[in-house]
Structure 1
Amino acid sequence: MSLKKAQEEQREAYETEIKHAKLPRGNQVFGVVDQRLGGTRMRVRCLDGKQRLCRIPGRFKKRLWVREGDTVLVEPWELGGDTKGDILYKYTRAQYQWLKNRGYLKDVHEFEEF
């Protein structure tokens, strides 16, 4: 088996297997990446109805690769929490489906329209 095919199979197995799905704690909220602004900054639409300018903290810079349309976990800042925040976690497709089936993301359909 070629290396590329083995890597594809590993990726598919990882995406279908749910090891854990991080849930929001405290003031953390779910969000969807709307636009990449360059560097580590992104515009995120959060499920609380607010649009925030979010950044990826330094500890996640090379480990967390985020694209437009990805579902993420956002922690608003203490100062300027309505407009700014940090991206803490990116959900895989399987985790997104698990959260949606369990009812954590029940407002996503209405949320995606605005």
Structure 2
Amino acid sequence: MSDGDAEGRTDLRMPDDDEVFAEVAEMLGANRVKVRCADGTRRTARIPGRMQKRTWIREGDVVLVSPWDWQDEKADIEHRYESQEAEQLREEGHIA
């Protein structure tokens, strides 16, 4: 019955070359959060205006961030994964 497992799988947004998986560690306010990135770096990430009212971000959420080229300790949040999608990423070994 492995077909049932494949049906439950959804195609997720995967990181581009300049993006990394991250987990929200702390809410800072003023549309900023502290994230722990998959590359081992802790960054301050900005929630862009297009996500502020539409997507609620909480501590523990798995997000996709795009680190800034000119300042590596900062990043922009590009996408938030639902809890079911985050679980799928963990099962497939993309995130720890």
Contact 1:71/1:91, CA 8 A, preserved across alignment: yes
Structure 2 counterpart of 1:87? 77
1:52-63 alignment, distance < 5 Å: 52-63=43-54
Structure with more helix by fraction: 1
Identity, % of aligned pairs?
A: 42
Q: How many corresponding residue pairs?
A: 89
Is 1:48 aligned to 2:39, yes or no?
yes
Paired letter, 1:75: S
Aligned Cα RMSD in Å? 1.4
- Structure 1 segments of 4+ aligned residues over 2 angstroms from their partners: 17-20
Deviation at 1:27, TM superposition (A): 1.6
Aligned equivalents of 2:37 and 2:64: distance in 1? 9
Structure 1 counterpart of 2:93? 103
Deviation at 1:20, TM superposition (A): 3.7
SS in 2 for 1:42: strand
Structure 2 unaligned segments of length 5 or more: list them. 1-7
Structure with more strand by fraction: 2
Higher Cα radius of gyration: 1
Output the TM-score relative to the length of structure 1: 0.72
Output the TM-score relative to the length of structure 2: 0.85
Structure 1 unaligned segments of length 5 or more: list them. 1-16, 109-114
Q: Over residues 41-61 of structure 1, what are the superposed CA-to-partner deviations in whole Å (9 max), with x where a residue is unaligned?
A: 000010100000001111111
